[in-house]
Structure 1
Amino acid sequence: MNFNRKLSLTAMALLIAGGSFAQVKRKPTPSPKQKPVPVADQVRGNILPVDPSVLIGKLPNGLTYYIRHNEQPKNRAELYLVVKAGSVLETDAQQGLAHFVEHMAFNGTRDYPKNNLVNYLQKSGVRFGADLNAYTSFDETVYQLPLPTDSAEVFQQGFNILANWAGQISFDPSEIDKERGVVLEEARLRGKNAQERLSQQTLPVIANNSRYATRLPIGKEDIIKSFTSETIKSFYKDWYRPDLQAVIAVGDFDVKTVEQYIKNKFSSLANPAGEKPRVVYAVPPTPGTVVKIATDKEFPYTLAQIIVKHPKTTIRTQANYMQSLRVNLFNYMINERLNELQQKPEPPFLYARANYAATIGNQDAFSSTVVSKPGDLEHAVKVLVGETERARKFGFTLTELERAKQAMLVQIQNAYNERDKTNSTSFIREYSQNFLNGEAIPGIAFEYTFIAENINRISTAEMNGLAGKFISDQNRVIIVEGPEADKDKLPSDKTILGWIGSAGANVTAYVDNVTTRPLMEKKPEGSKVVSEVKDEAIGTTTYVLQNGVKVILKPTDFKNNQVLINGYSFGGTSLANDQDFTSANLAAPIIGSSGIADFNQGMLDKMLAGKNVSVNPYISDITQGINANASPADFETAMQLIYLYFTQPRKDADIWKGNINQTRSILATRGVDPGSVFQDTVAAALSNNNFRSMVTTTANLNAATLDKAYNFYKDRFSDASGFTFTFVGNFDPEVLKPYIEAYLGGLPSTNKKETYRDLNIHPAEGQITKTVYKGIDDKATVQLVFSGKYDYSEPNNLQMDALEEVLNIKLTERLREQESSVYAPGVRFAYNKLPSARYTVTIYFTCGSANVDKLIAATMDEISKLKLNGAQPADIQKFVAEEARSTQVQLKDNIFWAGYLGAAAQNGQNPDDILSHVSHLDQVTPASTKATALKYLNSSNLIKLILMPEKK
C-alpha cells in the first residue's frame, strides 16, 4: 500500500499528453538556514526539523545545493540539476521551448560539442535514456546523471557536466534544426491518440483557463518547427540562472569533497542583469460546479471524474504533517471500501479510486474517478459517489482505522529498518521537492518516531470529519469521457448533476466484517532436510527435503527487511488441452484473488493489513509456482500462505463471475483502440496464429468454467516433489530451516515427475509483412521481428547482449540523430532455452506514416553494416563499460539474485558463471558481433508489422 500522494487519473492522462510531473512525496521543510522562519511558527515551535544527514548550502550567486553520503548502491552517486523553470514561464512565442532546452542540453555545450557528452558518458558505463535522462514539467526541469564514484575522473567530470547544463548550452543552429524532428516525434509518440485529444478538451476546464491550460510542456508544433535560436536562447538566459537552480548529490562519496566540486564548478555562474521575476502561477477557483462532456472516436471506455479543488497545503509544520497522516489514512480506507466492491459477483464498475492529493497549479484536490461497464455509467457514478457519501454521513469504523494505522506503521517501519540501505534516488526525490515546493525533509528517524508517538492520537472523530471537508459543490469540476459512438447516450450536464445529487440518499453505515481467527491453527508436521550442499563461491546453501522439494538459500545484507521467496516446477498451461486452456489460463489469477482456505479475499486482506508480506501463485505456459516476499518478522506468515495456496486453495464463485463479466466488458470495446488492434495482430504473427498466445475471445471466455479452472490449479499444485524454491535476503539459513521443513516439507508429494510440453508456439517462418490500418492521427508504429532456433549458451548469450546494445546505439544515432525522424527507437533481444531454444530480435519505433519505408530501409542498412563489418570498437567499449557497471550493481541486489538463481536452476546452468561474467566481456569483438549479426539477423525469417493510420 502506498501512502504517498498520487495524481488523479485525468491528471495522469495530461502527463502522457504533455510532459511529466515529479511525484509529490509526503515528506516534510526547507532548512531554517536557507529560509526565514515566520514569527508565528517560531512562537509555536511547530516547524519540522531538517534531516541532519544532508548538507544544505547556498552559493553567493543563489544556487542551492544538497549533499548526502549514502552507500546504496556502493560506488555510485546520483547527481541531479533541478531548475525551477518549466513551461508555464514560456512566452507565447516560446511554447515548447522549455522542453526543447532540455533536449539541447544533450546536443552540445561549451565543453561537450554536439553528441560528445552522450558518447563520453556511454564509454563511462552510463546508458542514455535508461540512466542519463531529464524531464520537463509545467513548473520545473530536472536533469539526472548517475555516475560511478570509483573513477575519480569520471565522477569529478559529472559536476562539470551539470555546470554545462546549468549555464553553458551551445544552441548550435544546425543541432537545433536536427532536434526539431526528434521533439516532434516525441510529441507523436506520447500523444497523437485519444487521450491527448480528450485532454485538449478537458484541461482548460480542470485548469480553469489558467496558464496551465495553455502551456503543455510539449508545446506547439508550428513553434517547434519555426522558432529561431535567439528565441530559445532568450528562455535559457532568463530562467536557467543560479538563483533558480539546485544541485543535488547523493551517493558513496566524501561530502566535503563534493561540496568543493560544486563550489569550483558553479560559483562562476551569474544571474542575468535585470532578471525577470519568477512568477508563481495558480489555478483560480471556480464558483460552483463546471461540467465537461468529452468524446473521442478511439477512446474505448466511459469514465467520470469528480474533482473538488482546495488550496494546496505544503508540509512544513508538525500540524501539517499530522494532517497529512489523516489524509493518507482516509485515502487508504476509502479505497479499501472500493476494492471490496470490486470483489462482488457483479462489480458496479471496471475501476474506481478516490483520494485527496496534490494536483497542478498549487492546488490539492479530492478526486473520485470511475470507469464504467459499457452502458452502465449512471450506476457506476452513483455507487462511487454513494461510497464517499457513506464516509461523509457515517464515517469510518474503529476496526477500519486500526487496520489503516497498522498498514502505515508497517510502511514507516520498513523505511526505518532500511534507513542505511535506502537507494539514493529516494533522497533525491525528497530534496527536489524541498527545493521546488518547500516540502520539509525531517528524515526517516524523525518521521518514524513522530508517527509511532502520534498515530494513536488520531481518532475516528477526526477522521470522520475529513470527508465533509473534502466534498463540496464549490470549486468542483465534473468530467465525463467516452467513445464518440456513445455520444448520444452520455448524460447531459443536468443529468449527471442529478445523479451525483441523488447518490447516497439511502446509504447505511458500513459494516466491517473481520475475523480474529489465525491463518492456521498449527504447523504441519513436515519433513526433514535429507541433503545439504554449500556453494562457497556465491554463498548459497541448497537443501533437499524428504518430500523432494529443493530449496536454494542465499543470505545477503543488501536489505535489512527483505526476504524474497520464489518457487517453480515444470508443467504450466502447456499440459491443458485446447478446449480447457482458457479455464487453465484463468486459474492462477482467479484462485490468487479468491482468498485462502475459509477466508475470502476481503477477510484475507484485512488479516494481512498490518503485515509486510505478499504471496502470489502463478501458472505460466511451462511452469507453475509462487512469487512471495516478506520481512523477516512476517516470514512465517508468508510460509503459511504458501502452504495454504498449495493445500487449501479457495474456490470463489463471486470472484469468478466478477472477473469474467469485467473481461467481457473490456473485450466489447477493445476494437476501437488502434494500439490494441495492432497488438492483437502482433500476437497472432509472433505465435503463428496460436490462440493460446492471443487475447481471449468472448466465445472462449463463455466456454470457461470455475470448476475447470479450480481443478487445473489443484492439479498443478498437487505434487511439490518437482518444486525448486529460492530464498534471497536477510536471514540465517539455520533459523529458516525449521520453517522450511515444516511448511515446504509438509507439502504433498506424489513424485509424478511431470514436465512441460513443447507446443511449438513461435513466430511464423519466412518473410512476412502485415499492415494494420487503424487510427485517425498520422502516427505509424513499426515492429521488425527476426526469429529462429538458437544455440543457448553463456558465450552466445553474451554476444547477443552485446549486439543488442550495439544495435540500440546505432539505431539511435541513425534514426534519431541523423534522420531526426524517431524519438526513441528500441531493440529487444530475447532468447530462451525452454521449452525449446529459440530467439527473437524485435526492433520497434513510432514515426510519421510518410517515413515508414525510409526508416525501415535505414534500419536494414545499419543491420547490413553490422553483418559486413561487425561493431565498431568504440561501440563495443560502450557496451563493456555499461555491462561491467550494471553487473557490479546487480551483484548487490536481492531481486537480481532471486531471478538469476531461479533461471539458472530452470536452465540447468552453473550459477557460479555470474562471477566470471565481467572477465568474459573481452570476448566481444568486431568479429564476434559480425558473426552473431550474420547468424541471428537473418532476413529469411523476418516479420514486418506496421500500424498505419486509416486510409482517407
Structure 2
Amino acid sequence: MKKNLHLLAVGALSLVLAQPAMAQKKAPAKAVKTVTKPATSPALPIDPNVKIGKLPNGLVYYIRKNVEPKNRAELYLGNKIGSLMENEEQLGLAHFTEHMAFNGTKDFPKNEIINYLQKAGVRFGADLNAYTGFNQTVYQLPIPTDSAEVFKTGFKILANWAGKVTMDGKEIDNERGVIIEEDRQRGKNAQQRISKQLLPFLLGDSRYAKRIPIGDVDLLQKFTHDKIRNFYKDWYRPNLQTVIAVGDFDVNEVEKLIIANFSELKNPANEKARTYYSIPDNVQPLVKIATDPEQPYNVAQLIYKQKQGPVKTEADYKTQIAQNMVNNMLAARIAEIMQKGNAPFLFAQSSYGPYQGGMIWDMNALQTVAVAKTGAELEKALVAAVAENERMAKFGFTAGELETVKKKMEASNEKQFKEKDKTKSSAYVQQYLNNFLIGSAIPSEEYSYELNKKLLQSISLADVNAAAKAMVTKNNQILVVQAPEKEKANLPQEASLIAALKNAGNGVTPYVDNAVNKPLIAQAPKAGTIVNETKNDKIGITTLTLSNGVKVVLKPTDFKNDQVIFTSFAKGGASLASNDDFLSAENANLIAQSGVGDYNPTQLSKYLAGKNAAVGAYIDDLYQGFSGNASPKDLETAFQLIYARATNPRKDVEIFNKNISDFKVITANKGSNPSSVFADTVQAVMANYHKRGMPTTLADIDKINIDKAYAFYKDRFADASGQTFVFVGNFDVEQIKPLITTYLASLPSLNRNENFVDNGVNPPKGKVSKTVKKGLEDKVSVQLVFHDDYTYSAENNVMLDALKAALDIKITERLREKESGVYSPGVSLSVQKNPAAHYYFTISFNCAKANVEKLINAALEEVNNFKNNGVTAEDLQKFKSEELRQVELSLRENGYWLAYLTNRLKYNDNVEQVLDNTSRINGVTVDATKTAAKKYLNGDNYIRLVLLPEN
C-alpha cells in the first residue's frame, strides 16, 4: 500500500544528512569526546567491575561478567590501526585485510569460521561482523556461553584474526570482486560523487583525505599479494590490539583463555611507528559548492571545527553535560521554527559532537545543516539556521529552557541507573573499546549516576551559555553546499555565502519561551469498570474486558526495571475511506503529529520534561490505535496521553500546511534519484497499479485536505469498543487496574463492530518483468520476487522461515563467494494474514551491468536446486541453531512479547503457540523443505524488477 507522506519525508531527508561514504561494513560506535580540561581536575575512576590486564607482548584485555543476555558473551578484537597506516601501494588494503580474516586462517581454512559459527547459532552480518575506519579495525563476535566448546573456540577465532590470517593468493583474488562490488553497492551515486568533491575540504587535504577506507578501485584490482601480506604482518600485532570479553561467564576462566590464545602472538622485529594524524586548522572560512545531476536537494552545511580530547576528568564530564544541554535546547528551538508555516527551511539541524561520525579522533564540531526548497532560497535557509547559533551565542538560553532540559536529563539519569543490572553486554564492550582506542574514561554506573546528579544540580545557566558560546567559533569554519546540477545557476556564490555567514547574527533578538501551563486533560474522565477478567498462566497474561468494550492484555515481566511498553489496535484504518478521500485519510497521521489539545509538539515536549512517557496515535491501512512507553512511575501520564490523543486531537493548520508544502518539494525532487524512481516502480508493480497503492504524486498531494484528515482521525477514534491494548513490562496487575478503568474504560464507545475493507490492492499474478533505466553509472539493482496466497499458520510460517534462511546462505555462497559478483545479496521474507494471507520471497542484490543476466540466472539456479533437492542437512542445522538461539534471546525481551501478543490477537491466533516454537523449529526436515520449496518457490507468480543505468 501507499506510504504515508510523513514517513516518506523522514526517509527522504535522512539521505540529505548522510556523511561521505567511508565504505565500512558497520559504522563504529561514536567515541564520546569533549574539550580537554586542565590536569588538576580529578580523573574519573575506572569501574572496579572490569578486569583490565596486559600480556607481555603488549596486548590489552578487558573482562567483565554481565548476565544480560544470559548464556551469551560479546567478544571483540580491537586493532588500533586502519586505513591511515597504508602506504601508497596499499590504498584500501586495511579494509581488504578485514575481509580476508573471514577467508582463511591457520586453524580455520577458507570460510570455515563463518561455517562453524553459523552451526553454533551465530548469524553472519547480524551478529558476526567487522568494520574498518581511518584509525581502527574492529571484529565483533557475539557467542553463546552455554557450550564450553563453542565459547572456547570463540577466543581461538579472535586469536586467528589477530595473527594467523593465511592470505592465500587464490582467496585474495576471489575477494577482489567482492570489494569492488562493495564500492559499487555503497557508491556509484550522487553521494559518492559529491563526497569526492567535498572530502579534501572536509578533511583539510590531510592524510585522512588520501586514505578513504574503501581505497583505490584500480589498485584493488591489480595489487600483488605481497602488498596485503606486508600490511597484515606490519600492523596486526599484539601491542596495537585489545581483546574485550563481556558476558555470562567466569572472569578468571576467560582470563586464562586469553592468556592461552594470545600470549604466543609476537610483534615484528622492526616495528613501524604508529603515527597519529589530525586535520589542519583554517583561519578563513573554506567554501565548496558541489552539484550533481542526481542530487535531489539543496543543502548547505556550516561546520565549526574544534580540537578535542576524550572525557577523562570530572571537568571533562561537566563540559560534556553542558554541551548535551545545549544540543537539546538548540534542537528544540529549530524544531519549533520548522513547525511554522513561514519556516525559512525545508529542514534544519544544528548539533555539537564528534566530527565525521567520530572517525577523526581529536576533532569535534558544531555542524549546522539547512535544506532549502530551491537553490535560490538556499542562502536564506542557511542564514536562518546559522542565526540560531548566533542567537544562543549572543543571548544564551532562558532559565525556563534550562529547567526543562535538566528535568529531561535527570529523568534519563534515573532511568539508566534503575536499569544498571539489565545493561546489555554490548554497551560495556563499546565503552571499553573507546577506552582502548582513545583513552576515554570508564567509570561505574554508580559513580556516573552520582556525578550526573551532582553536576545537573550545580551547572548554572552561565555554565551552559558559556558552552554554547564556545561552540560558535570564528575560525575553523567550513561551508559546503550540495545541490542538483539543474540549480547551479540559482545557487549563491562563495563570496555571497561568506558575507551571509558574517551577517547571520545581525538583528537577532533573545528567544521567547512559549511554554503552556495548562492541564493535559481539562476534566477528569468518568471512570468505567472491568466487566471480565481471565488469566493464562502458561504465558503469564491477564485479559480484562472493560465496560466500554475495550480489551486489555497485561503481561508483567522483569526483563527491564524501568520499562513498560504498549500498543493497541482496532480494525478499520484507512481502508474504510472512500476512493475520493483515501489520500486525506492516509495522512490523518499528520493530525497525530500536530500535538494534542492546547499543546503543539514543542510545548508538549516541555510539558513532558522530567517524565519518561511517550504516546503516539496511528492509522495504517487496516488498523488504528496507540503505541507508547513509560517508566512505571509515569504510567499515569502515558494513560492521560492516550485519553487526550483519542478525545482531544489538535487541528493545527500551520503545522499541517507546512508538512504538505515540504512533501511537495520532496515529491518533486525524488525523480532525480535512481533509487527513488526504482522504489516507486517497485511499489506500483507490486500493487498491480491499483489507485490506492500507487506512489504519491504532486496531484495527489493537492487532494489532501486538513478538514477531511481531521474528521477521519476523529472518526477512527470515536469508537473504542474495538480497541485491544497490550501492555508488557514492569508493572503490577492490580496497581495498573485503576489507571485502566479511569483512562481506557472511559474512552468513547459506539459499538460499531467495525472491520477493515479489502480494497483489492494485490500483487499481479503470473510472471511479470519490469526494467527501469535511470542512473549515470554502472550500477544495477535487482529484485526477484516469488509470491502467492497461502494458508497462514505457525507451521507454514516456520517452514517459510527455514526456506528463507537456507536460501539466503546459498545465494550468498553462489553470488558472492563463487561468482564474486555482488557484495551483500539478501533474501527477505514477508508474510501477511490480512486482508488476505500472502507470502513474498525477495532475492535482491546490486551488481555491474555486464553481470546482471549471469547473476540472475545463477540465483534462479539456486532456487531450482531448492525445488529439486530441498535444503541441505547442513544448512538446515544452521537455520535451527540460529533460530533457536534467537528464540531464547527473544523470550527475555519486552519488545518481542509486545509484537508477539499483538499479532496473535490481531490475527485471532492461538496465543499459546509460542510454547511450541522449539518443537516446530526442530520438526522441520529436509524432505519437508523439498516439498515446501516446490510449493512456495514454484515460480508461477514471479516478478522480476531491474534498475539499469540510462546508457
TM-score bracket for this pair, using the shorter chain length: over 0.9
Distance across 1 between alignment mates of 2:559 and 2:468: 42
Distance across 1 between alignment mates of 2:279 and 2:16: 16
Q: Which residue of 1 aligns with 2:44?
A: 48
Q: Which residue of 2 aligns with 1:4?
A: none
Distance across 2 between alignment mates of 1:945 and 1:601: 41
CA displacement 1:15-41 (0-9 Å, x = unmatched): 455666523243899xxxxxxx99x84
Distance across 2 between alignment mates of 1:576 and 1:919: 43
Distance across 2 between alignment mates of 1:471 and 1:750: 57
Q: How does 1:636-655 map to 2 (within 5 A)?
A: 636-655=636-655
Structure 2 counterpart of 1:136, which letter? T
Return the offset for 1:597.
Answer: 1.4
Structure 2 counterpart of 1:853, which letter? E
Distance across 2 between alignment mates of 1:19 and 1:755: 45
**Does the aligned pair in 2 maintain the 1:87–1:98 contact within 8 Å?**
yes
Q: Which residue of 1 aligns with 2:189?
A: 193
**Does the aligned pair in 2 maintain the 1:19–1:137 contact within 8 Å?**
no
| Matched residue SS, 1:945 | strand
| Matched residue SS, 2:257 | helix
**Does the aligned pair in 2 maintain the 1:780–1:946 contact within 8 Å?**
yes
Distance across 1 between alignment mates of 2:873 and 2:157: 25
Structure 2 residue aligned with 1:13, among 14, 19, 25?
A: 19
Q: Which residue of 2 aligns with 1:382?
A: 383
**Does the aligned pair in 2 maintain the 1:346–1:657 contact within 8 Å?**
no
Return the offset for 1:692.
Answer: 2.5
Distance across 2 between alignment mates of 1:774 and 1:756: 38
| 1:226 counterpart = 2:222 | yes
Distance across 2 between alignment mates of 1:46 and 1:695: 59
Aligned Cα RMSD in Å? 1.6
CA displacement 1:128-182 (0-9 Å, x = unmatched): 1111100001110010101111111101110000000000001111111111111
Q: Which residue of 1 aligns with 2:4?
A: none
Q: Which residue of 1 aligns with 2:422?
A: 421
Q: How does 1:522-921 map to 2 (within 5 A)?
A: 522-588=523-589, 590-921=590-921
Structure 1 residue aligned with 2:58, among 57, 62, 77?
A: 62
Tell me the TM-score normalised to structure 1 length. 0.96
**Does the aligned pair in 2 maintain the 1:28–1:441 contact within 8 Å?**
no
**Does the aligned pair in 1 maintain the 2:34–2:320 contact within 8 Å?**
no
Q: Which residue of 1 aligns with 2:9?
A: none
Q: Which residue of 1 aligns with 2:313?
A: 317
Return the offset for 1:499.
Answer: 1.6
| Matched residue SS, 1:387 | helix
Q: How does 1:313-462 map to 2 (within 5 A)?
A: 313-359=309-355, 360-361=359-360, 362-374=362-374, 375-462=376-463
**Does the aligned pair in 1 maintain the 2:104–2:167 contact within 8 Å?**
yes
Distance across 2 between alignment mates of 1:750 and 1:474: 65
Return the offset for 1:404.
Answer: 1.1
Return the offset for 1:739.
Answer: 0.3
Distance across 1 between alignment mates of 2:949 and 2:734: 62
Distance across 2 between alignment mates of 1:155 and 1:350: 51
| Matched residue SS, 1:348 | coil
Structure 1 residue aligned with 2:255, among 244, 256, 259?
A: 259
Distance across 2 between alignment mates of 1:216 and 1:581: 48
Question: 1:19–1:817: structure 2 CA closer, same or farther, 3 Å change rule?
Answer: closer
**Does the aligned pair in 2 maintain the 1:27–1:430 contact within 8 Å?**
no
Structure 2 counterpart of 1:501, which letter? K
Greater Cα offset, 518-527 or 854-863: 518-527
- Unpaired runs of at least 5, structure 2: 1-13
Return the offset for 1:826.
Answer: 0.7
Identical positions, percent = 49
Distance across 1 between alignment mates of 2:764 and 2:244: 51
Return the offset for 1:10.
Answer: 8.6
Distance across 1 between alignment mates of 2:749 and 2:509: 50
Q: Which residue of 1 aligns with 2:100?
A: 104
| Matched residue SS, 2:521 | coil
Distance across 1 between alignment mates of 2:203 and 2:703: 48
CA displacement 1:42-98 (0-9 Å, x = unmatched): xx3611100111111111111011111111111111100010010011001101110
| Matched residue SS, 1:474 | coil
Return the offset for 1:693.
Answer: 2.6
Distance across 2 between alignment mates of 1:325 and 1:922: 51
Return the offset for 1:393.
Answer: 1.4
Q: Which residue of 1 aligns with 2:235?
A: 239
Greater Cα offset, 177-186 or 686-695: 686-695
Return the offset for 1:350.
Answer: 1.9
Tell me the TM-score normalised to structure 2 length. 0.96
Distance across 2 between alignment mates of 1:268 and 1:646: 66
Distance across 2 between alignment mates of 1:274 and 1:109: 24
| 1:23 counterpart = 2:24 | no
CA displacement 1:714-760 (0-9 Å, x = unmatched): 11111111110000000111110110111000001111000001112
**Does the aligned pair in 1 maintain the 2:34–2:309 contact within 8 Å?**
no
**Does the aligned pair in 1 maintain the 2:332–2:602 contact within 8 Å?**
no
Return the offset for 1:9.
Answer: 9.1
**Does the aligned pair in 2 maintain the 1:202–1:294 contact within 8 Å?**
yes
Return the offset for 1:517.
Answer: 2.3
Q: Which residue of 2 aligns with 1:463?
A: 464
Distance across 1 between alignment mates of 2:667 and 2:393: 36
Return the offset for 1:520.
Answer: 2.3
CA displacement 1:280-327 (0-9 Å, x = unmatched): 011011121111011111000011111111111211111111111111
Structure 2 counterpart of 1:812, which letter? T
What is the number of equivalent residue pairs in this alignment? 933
**Does the aligned pair in 1 maintain the 2:82–2:136 contact within 8 Å?**
yes
- Runs (4 or more) in structure 1 with deviation over 6 Å come to 8-11
Structure 2 residue aligned with 1:121, among 114, 117, 120?
A: 117
Question: 1:579–1:702: structure 2 CA closer, same or farther, 3 Å change rule?
Answer: same
| Matched residue SS, 2:747 | coil
Question: 1:25–1:222: structure 2 CA closer, same or farther, 3 Å change rule?
Answer: closer
| Matched residue SS, 2:421 | coil
| Matched residue SS, 1:349 | coil
Distance across 1 between alignment mates of 2:33 and 2:207: 28
Distance across 1 between alignment mates of 2:17 and 2:726: 41
Distance across 2 between alignment mates of 1:235 and 1:405: 49
Structure 1 counterpart of 2:540, which letter? G
Greater Cα offset, 470-479 or 550-559: 470-479
Return the offset for 1:788.
Answer: 1.3
